[in-house]
Structure 1
Amino acid sequence: MTQLAGKTALVTGGTSGIGLATARRLAEEGAQVFLTGRSQPRVDEAVATIGGSVRGVASDITRIKDLEHLADVIRDHGSGLDVVFANAGGGEFATLEEETPEHLADTLNRNVGGTTFTVQKMLPLLNPGASVVLAGSTAASVGTPAFGAYAASKAAIRSLGRTWAAELADRGIRVNTVVPGPVETPGLTELAPSGQEQALLDEMAGSTAMGRVGRPEEIANAVLFLASDASSFMTGSELFVDGGANQV
């Protein structure tokens, strides 16, 4: 039997990388999956790539009206939500000297505000026993030069996950944070100057005990674990999937 048969899941930022791999994995396990992205063509492409019981909704997590529309679409489906993977977000390099109010505000708005209001707008749809999985980062617990704004935003996610786990426990809703290390995704390689993508991946691989970067599918498997009953006694926790980067 599949682990999520009869369940309904939402994956934000589901058009590439970890989000796309997770949407595919949850669908393989029997879930009806709603995936989002900011671009309708990319959403359509992702849905076509996965096929099956996947529905795409163009939605920007920084726009409350988009999130409200997303909630309406899921509500009309009539089954509520059993899984939310709040994955959408991102960041760019900027040293303390280079930091601007605009960059800081944008990073915090995407990663902290977007995650907060995604979960908030989905709250009325969450079924008893639902699982909320937040996208963290190993950057939250190490000092990576020029990545301060992003790291701070992910440290906030770590804290919010604990708070929401306490707030939602009486509804039987679990909240956990998956913490990827370096993973070969467009979001990571786009941080490198043109032509230096492989050099960045090689550098990141050297930071892990396993000597390689991760694959999106490996993070997707961890999200599936947190989404399923296999992790039924876990809430408020962080699950590191980082090749030992922050552990060894």
Structure 2
Amino acid sequence: MNTFQQHTSLITGGNSGIGYATAKLFKAKGANVIITGRNTDAIAKASTELGVTGYVSDQASLQAIDALVASIKSEFGTLDSIFLNAGVAEFQAFEQASESHFDTLMDINVKGVFFTLQKLLPILNEGGSVIFNTSVNASVGMPNSAVYSASKAAIIGMSRILATELAPKNIRVNCISPGPVETPVYEKLGMNSEELNGFSKLLSEKILLKRFAQAEEIAQLASFLASSDSSFITGTEVIIDGGLTVNPVIN
């Protein structure tokens, strides 16, 4: 059943992985869907495949965010939901972590997300839904993820404040915290195929359901939180990790 008729949704980082799966699902449910990404070719390909509107936008640039907001306002007027999914995942041991590593993750995952929402807020309809894509890494204590974990924990903390501040407009604010998901992000960790397979096996053994999530499973949760079916849910972090956080020590 189409549940998003006359619903306009922005999904940042919608050209691959969780964002792509969510855009596909929202489109199938009748929504007007907007996706963003930094890569021109990837956005063009994804928007064509999905039949949605795509904008090239760098979340780390406030000027790019301003341009994005102006484009959305001009073409669509307002939004009904925002899925702040775009982010980067890079991992370094604490003792080797560089200033560049720290700044990159914080600029994109925290500063960029903060100002994207702040600048979009004037065109988000009352009664709208804001969804942050965070991570169980904020709490499970995985080695080599100090900065990434801190960036996601910052968003979870911020979401609770925003849920309070935006409640008078009946705007709901929630977080999705996935465990490991089969997306291209794991191909970007700098591991060779043997190391990647070993890493995946280790994580799978820690997950009660013994597998990674599919991006489509995260999309279903995003769909629920964007819809009126979750009308009494706000200020919440929903963990979707197959039971990983029941057995959280990863080493």
TM (norm. structure 2) is 0.95
Post-superposition offset of 1:50: 1.1
2:158 maps to which residue?
A: 160
1:24 maps to which residue?
A: 24
2:36 maps to which residue?
A: 36
Distance 2:139 2:71 in 1: 37
Distance 1:77 1:185 in 2: 30
Distance 1:57 1:150 in 2: 26
* Residue type of the alignment partner of 1:60: D
CA distances 1:98-141 after superposition (whole Å, capped 9, x unpaired) = 01111111111110011101101100100011000001100001
SS in 1 for 2:246: coil
Is contact 1:129-1:174 (8 Å) kept? yes
1:219 maps to which residue?
A: 218
1:149 to 144, 147, 150: 147
Post-superposition offset of 1:3: 1.2
1:208 maps to which residue?
A: 207
* Residue type of the alignment partner of 1:106: T
2:113 maps to which residue?
A: 115
Distance 2:186 2:203 in 1: 10
Post-superposition offset of 1:77: 2.1
> What count of residue pairs does the alignment treat as equivalent?
246
1:140 maps to which residue?
A: 138
Distance 2:190 2:101 in 1: 18
1:62 maps to which residue?
A: 60
Residues 5-24 of structure 1: pairs in structure 2 closer than 5 A? 5-24=5-24
Is contact 1:8-1:79 (8 Å) kept? no
1:233 maps to which residue?
A: 232
Post-superposition offset of 1:213: 0.4
Give structure 2 stretches of 5+ with no counterpart: none
Is contact 1:189-1:200 (8 Å) kept? no
1:128 maps to which residue?
A: 126
2:188 maps to which residue?
A: 190
Distance 1:205 1:190 in 2: 19
1:88 maps to which residue?
A: 86
1:242 maps to which residue?
A: 241
* Residue type of the alignment partner of 1:231: S
* Residue type of the alignment partner of 1:180: P
Against the structure 1 CA distance between its residues 91 and 213, is the aligned structure 2 distance closer, same or farther, given a 3 Å change threshold? same
Distance 2:187 2:208 in 1: 20
Distance 1:40 1:192 in 2: 23
1:76 maps to which residue?
A: 74
SS in 1 for 2:96: coil
TM (norm. structure 1) is 0.96
Distance 2:77 2:200 in 1: 41
SS in 2 for 1:152: helix
Distance 2:197 2:94 in 1: 26
CA distances 1:8-50 after superposition (whole Å, capped 9, x unpaired) = 0000011110011111111111110110000111001111221
CA distances 1:155-195 after superposition (whole Å, capped 9, x unpaired) = 00110110100010011100000010000111123215122
Give structure 1 stretches of 5+ with no counterpart: none
* Residue type of the alignment partner of 2:141: G
